Structure 1
């Protein structure tokens, strides 16, 4: 594996970094101030930044299909996603934010021509936002076969009934479409053929948003995490994606890139935290000398650098294996980085908060919000325990067969 970025990627990375320093970092404070005025709307500065990013050609960088975006591989996209991960909202500046990225990839891979025309085009243009509705409060959704939401055929329509929560993105006023996972064939003996995925416009009668859910008290505006009821929601049969019983297949295809994209962004957030704690340690005096003279502080900085680099290299290896052999063949490495990166980010950001004292917990720094995001990803796209269970099963089978 070549650890040097290609000239193409290096040029893009320098261009992205330049854009971030010229436009995004200076607008960070304005973004959060404007967000207080309209929690679920689009801050004006975000719209301005998105227009500039589009003009600069820094748009849809996540999309591997060059008909619809930059045409970068997972390995090529990794350092760009890491750079975006340094600021909580910057992925959207470049139209590279979840859950839109996963939904766009679903529509590219599995959507019909009509579905692409109606929903993919405005998503690619950044004109609308989207949500992915899978998790349910009444069942252990880490096992997607437990999903209870019903999708029942009725003539030329499907009727949807169910209860979902932590549906990221649905609170946003610009969210116009959801991909909903539910069961079209609950009695099928093959539990992985019971589920389907269907497109549901957010303004469809019967879609009832109950409340925004919080994470450590953060509402994660302007996207949010909604609790929502589907009460006899009726949509055209043409809104079904790929076909009945294909929902689990679509979910697996969607989650591989989504998981590693989160890990890439988390490394960026952790790297920024490392830089902040190093600066703090040099500038802050305690007991008559800089904090950087304290052994425990030096150890925290050193350990953090080691842990970030380990996670970065594992992410790049997983990305390279996905590109070379496909998501299924790389599933063990994807599981490894999904286990490692969120825990690493939580640990590093926690150290940075500690070194910053009370300020590290406040709204004046990004650390607390980044910590909440990192802790969320230990559950999102599969809890740590599920990935460890499946990874352990695969490794035991592989190495056990060699004995």
Structure 2
């Protein structure tokens, strides 16, 4: 009888312990171990990028919001530490405004950690923000290269966007191989540099796309300024600023988390529709025209303007023309009107080109470029 009572007591204790542990595991306030990452930004900038280029605040803000919205702890570092300078940006954009109002985020930006102080064991991932300043100080930062290699080799994730992959070009693993070798990688492309980066291009020590290929990377990309995220296991890279949310979200997934739905910003939504149109979804253009309040039509026109500059086939010229015309009334700029007329003329649409020029001359009767084209091109 005593043995039975003793056994019953032991079972009761075990059951109580089991129920206690179960209750703890399902309590709302008890969460899994918090993931932690370090975001690295260039410290090269001076005078908002006018004297020397720095980091892109837009990219930092978008990525930071993704990480914090998913419960990830964040540190911010730069090569020298302390306060660093971003290139000029619009503080009114929603993602920038949120970060500017975030005391914790701004405290970190105003007093970044020096990369020499980074301990890879403290982090599950590293995210390298772009901006042309990244081309100048990040590739030469030995402490940063060590941190990147160590985080990767301890099964952490390495992610970078736009010019951020410049920090990866000389990173070697313990076996002597380059981190990017034989891996799918992308970055700001040569084409994008030629179209949008001419101010600092002559100062670069290398072209980022070329250097990544030289290091053995399997470089991939999309059309200029369209989102493209290359994922090769725990190495994640994005082509340009539009790719920022995609890269940050992929990093969240790589940490074993289920990402919350990221906020859809109007410029990103606009670029997504442009990408659909260029990929052959002709009806996508109707979305832009019928719901202008949801998109940034000036961005559509600007994209068409630059797309025309790099177009090589009639189809590409047609796409550029369509995008410019969609935004023509909204932008109301004679330079865009002239580009439309020139593209129409190139495609053999002579009557349309004349009509575009004549319409321009109604509002600007002395516009010399339009008068000259009417005199010489027809």
TM range (shorter): under 0.3
TM-score (norm. length: structure 2): 0.22
TM-score (norm. length: structure 1): 0.21
Higher relative contact order (CA 8 A, sep 6+): 1
